[in-house]
Amino acid sequence: MTAVEIKKDIHWVGAVDWNVRDFHGYSTERGTTYNAYLIKDEKVALVDTVKHDFKSDLLHNIHQVMEPSKIDYIIVNHVELDHSGSLPEMIELIQPEKIFCTANGKRAMISHFHREDWPFEVVKTGDEISLGNRTVRFIETKMLHWPDSMFSYLLEDKILFSSDAFGQHLASSQRFDDQLPMDELITNAGKYFANILLVFSPLVQKLLAQVGEMDLGIEMIAPDHGPIWRGQPGKIIEAYDRWSGQETKNKALVVYDTMWKSTEKMAKSVCTGLEREGVEVRLMSARLCHRSDIMAEMLDAKAIIVGSATLNNNIMPRLADILTYVKGLRPKGRIGASFGSYGWSGEAVKQLNGFLDEMGIEVVGDGVRIKNVPEHEGYQKCVELGAAVGRAVRGSEQLTAEEA
């Protein structure tokens, strides 16, 4: 890759990771980028670095713009190692005058790299530094998604360096949103939000309100992953407002795992009931669909119906994995139900209802249990379960519309 000037004397100097396929449990089949930015002024600032294995890419791109030793400041928006893994070696090479970070950022860097002698300069929301003709204003974004996180806003150029917010895992030779299909970008950004930031939705809502009150007039959003938003930055801000508000639509997920296809047959009948009530349906096998893709589909789904055969008096392990993952991301305001086949004791449905209840999901009915292989009567019970959830989904959508 090559350095790219995103505005006059401001360059993308990051790295593209075409081959990463897993990001701590999140499937990244499209790869990702580790974005870093170089601001040239009377004082030169490097905004974030890259994952350790990509240090040579970062250095190569910086060399295309200037000698790394001429960098004065390093701004660390986020200490997670995909953005700071190369930081110790870059500090050794650059010998910066100051390293700007939050108080939590300083603690995190010391904890990760054990260097208390670095030239830390702690900043908080509202603090500004002058680079000469340009001013950087800092905005703390604590727990979005680490305690150390912050934004850096370049006032004169109206660029928001947004760390992990507004990003996505997408490797590309294009650096900007207007070079790629918008629906693809929003889909990838939605998956990123669902799997990383959904749990922090209330904080995202507060941050969006805070940034709105600042009236920054943002013309470009430069995140640490994925393309830079220069064509329509308002699109991703609107999407974050919608996602963090946990807005859903007339849609249901049916997620299941099966042993000898009986639970799969039940799942299809549940879908039939949902379809009859005019609800959009996504049928997803726990064996064939990655947990992060299921979570992405759940971002705008009002209902999740889960099905499992009983294995050793328990839920099937792949489905248990998915439900544990979903529970940690705390989706709110959803409706759910359960179903499953069994050979002897049939505990799975009761356990599934327990999972849904613990997640705060409104459970419709007691679930459907069928011994061994379903017949017509069993299929009809599954259709009725799907229809009951479908009516609940439509009812909640009607209430939402009336409230609006």
Of 41, 83, 225, 240, the catalytic one is 225
Q: Which residues of 200-238 are buried (b: 16+ CB within 10 A; e: fewer)?
A: bbebbeebbeebeeeebebebbbbbbbbbbbbebeebbe
Of 80, 148, 264, 297, the catalytic one is 80
Beta-bridged to residue 73, according to DSSP, are 45, 98
Taking 60 as the threshold, does the pLDDT of residue 130 lie above it? yes
Q: Is 80 tagged catalytic?
A: yes
Residues 51 and 100 in one domain: yes
d(CA 163, CA 48): 8
d(CA 336, CA 253): 9
Q: What is the mean pLDDT of the chain?
A: 95
Residue 222 lies in a domain: yes
Taking 70 as the threshold, does the pLDDT of residue 187 lie above it? yes
Residues 256 and 321 in one domain: yes
pLDDT in tens, 48-92: 999 999 999 999 999 999 999 999 999 999 999 999 999 999 999
Q: Is 164 tagged catalytic?
A: yes
Of 82, 140, 224, 347, the catalytic one is 82
Of 83, 145, 257, 277, the catalytic one is 145
Of the three residues 244, 264, 280, the one that is the final residue of a domain is 244
Residues 177 and 237 in one domain: yes
State mean pLDDT over 86-105.
Answer: 97
Q: Is 192 tagged catalytic?
A: yes
Give the pairing type, strands 98-101 and 73-75.
parallel
What CATH number has the domain bearing residue 99?
3.60.15.10
396 versus 209: the higher-pLDDT residue is 209
Number of domains the chain is built from? 2
Output the pTM of the full model. 0.94
Only one residue has tokens 């305001």, namely 333
Residue 232 lies in a domain: yes
State mean pLDDT over 137-143.
Answer: 95
pLDDT for the residue numbered 211: 87
Q: Of 100, 51, 112, nearest to 72 (Cα)?
A: 100
Residues 63 and 197 in one domain: yes
Residue 404 lies in a domain: no
Residues 288 and 203 in one domain: no
d(CA 343, CA 349): 13
pLDDT for the residue numbered 24: 84
Of the three residues 207, 227, 244, the one that is the final residue of a domain is 244
**Which domain, by its residues, includes 57?**
4-244
Residues 343 and 305 in one domain: yes
Of the three residues 244, 279, 297, the one that is the final residue of a domain is 244
Q: Is 78 tagged catalytic?
A: yes
Other C-beta atoms lying within 10 Å of the C-beta of residue 90: 23
Residues 200 and 263 in one domain: no
Residues 41 and 167 in one domain: yes
Taking 80 as the threshold, does the pLDDT of residue 249 lie above it? yes
Q: Is 145 tagged catalytic?
A: yes
Other C-beta atoms lying within 10 Å of the C-beta of residue 8: 8
Of 17, 48, 57, 164, the catalytic one is 164
Taking 90 as the threshold, does the pLDDT of residue 288 lie above it? yes
Of 26, 37, 73, 192, the catalytic one is 192
Binned at pLDDT 50, 70 and 90, residue 399 comes out as low
Of 78, 153, 224, 256, the catalytic one is 78
Residue 403 lies in a domain: no
